A and B are shown apart, each in its own frame.
Chain A
Amino acid sequence: MPEKVQDKSVYSLLEVMESIRRTLGERYTSAFWVKAEMNKLNHYVHSGHCYPDLLEKREGKIVAQIKANLWKEDYLRINENFLRVLKEPLKNGINILFSARITFDPVHGLSLRILDIDPSYSLGELEREKQETIDRLRKEGIFDANKQVKLALVPQRVAIISVETSKGFADFRKMIDANSWGYCFFYMLFPSLLQGEKVAESIGRQLERIRLVQRHFDAVAIIRGGGGDIGLAGYNQYELARQVALFPLPVITGIGHATNETVTEMVAFRNCITPTDLAGFLIQQFHNFSVPVKEAQRVVADAGRQILSDERRNLIESAVNFRNRTRHFLASSARMLIHQATGIRGFTGFFIRNNRDILAQSSHLLLIGTARLITDRSTAVETLTRQMELLDPKRVLSRGYSITMVNEKPVRSSSQVIPGDSLKTITFDGSIISTATEIQPEPKP
């Protein structure tokens, strides 16, 4: 009740506050839904309560602001919902749709007591922000920029953005260090937060460091693992995604989560999803280089062998050919020689035989001839003897013939004699001397 002081009704502060509380209580009887940006969550770990700063901005200016209360039980329940639906905890800087009551406390004043927060609204907001990042990068024409950076044939030197104790980094190292092909990698850790609100800023800082020594590296690998799917919204932030897209080296991601590719992963040179796959991807690049080299080695060796073996075969063929021809020539020469020898022997034999035969025949003929000749001659001698005997003048003379001689010459013609010549007529048993008285030549017929 107000006191009366010098005609004035004076209320105590508590009375005023109580009055306001009552009035508000009468006016705002039930809870209502409000949308606002939760600038700060202000979670007190010790008590478990939160005192979020809520505000509304228009064109970048704060046009409304109020403190809120989120009691421990409500916070735990809501946070669980968020983790389930958004894969993000309740955190600073998100837009929320919440159910609240107006409360007024005489000591703490006016505030909104948050009873519930709709996670799907925040999810939509996050998705919208993600889409905005994508749209903006596309509009600026840099969305695919990192994909067009040329990856070294052998991406051997890798700048790792991770945490020393990360399970993902351990998985990566295990696979790279123990590769059974003896591939040599060089990697260097650039430590950074990998999830939560500060991830974009932290990774961004390491990317800047790497840029300074980029000539020592072939690629950047962002490696995270074992952290589940929570707290990756930072990878959708425009600044980080842009930095990755425009990075001069290929950026490969292996941040190990199952749902909703983040924008940073989308714009990366390659998103391998898990650290193990990332290591596998790098090793595969080595294979892609190594296999053709081995193949080249085989082809060159084969070609060398082939050409040499062709040459050897040609040589052998020539040798065989040469031997065959020589042999053939020798054989045919030998055959010809034998043939000629046989010919000569045959001919000689024949010749000898022939001559021997001729000789034999000749001697035979000679014998026969001689004998016959002798016989013939004997016969001839006999005939001649007989003829001689027949021709003996005495025998003729005895048959009555005579020979007339004139001047000691036998008279064969009457012309040899003239009358008066002394003639001598020889007979078988003597001669008659006479004188020619008349010559009577025989008239010609």
Chain B
Amino acid sequence: MSEKITYTEAYEELQALVDEIETGEISVDQLSEKVKRAAFLIKTCKQKLTSTEEDVNKILKELEGEGE
């Protein structure tokens, strides 16, 4: 994944995409591209649910730094 996108943005874009699909505004020609995009957004969202990059030690270090 080269694109930087927050999960909130991904979630919102995904909802918009679903609306678009549900109201039938997508042609077969666009479909492949849209499905590919949706798959990327879904992956981003799902990843958020199951992983985090936070680290207690880093935060503690930061707290000590602030304390000085």
Binding site for B on A (CB under 8 A): 152-154, 156-157, 181-186, 188, 209, 212-213, 216, 286, 289-290, 292-293, 295-297, 299-300, 303-304, 307-308, 311
Contacts and interface: CB of A to CB of B under 8 A. Distances in A.
A300 B18 contact: yes
B38 A296 contact: yes
Given A213-B59, A296-B14, A296-B17, A303 B31 contact: yes
Nearest to B41: A296
Closest 9 A-B residue pairs measured CB to CB? A186-B54, A300-B38, A303-B21, A186-B52, A293-B45, A212-B66, A296-B18, A184-B50, A296-B14
A303 B63 CA distance: 50
Interface string B38-49: 110110011011
Nearest to B19: A299
A216 B54 contact: yes
Interface residues of B, number: 32
A112 B16 CA distance: 75
Contacts of A157: 52, 54
The binding surface of chain A is classed by DSSP as helix
A307 B14 contact: no
Contacts of B11: 153, 289, 292-293
A303 B52 CA distance: 32
Nearest to A293: B45
B29 to A, nearest CB: 10
B1 interface: no
Interface of B: 7-8, 11, 14-15, 17-18, 21-22, 26, 28, 31, 34-35, 38-39, 41-42, 45-46, 48-52, 54, 56, 58-59, 62-63, 66
B31 to A, nearest CB: 5
Contact of B51 (A184, A212, A213, A292): A184
A286 B41 CA distance: 16
Nearest to B34: A300
Contacts of A308: 28
B24 to A, nearest CB: 8
B45 A188 contact: no
Contact of B52 (A182, A184, A286, A296): A184
B62 A212 contact: yes
A234 B16 CA distance: 47
B16 to A, nearest CB: 10
Nearest to B38: A300
Contact of B49 (A188, A290, A299, A307): A290
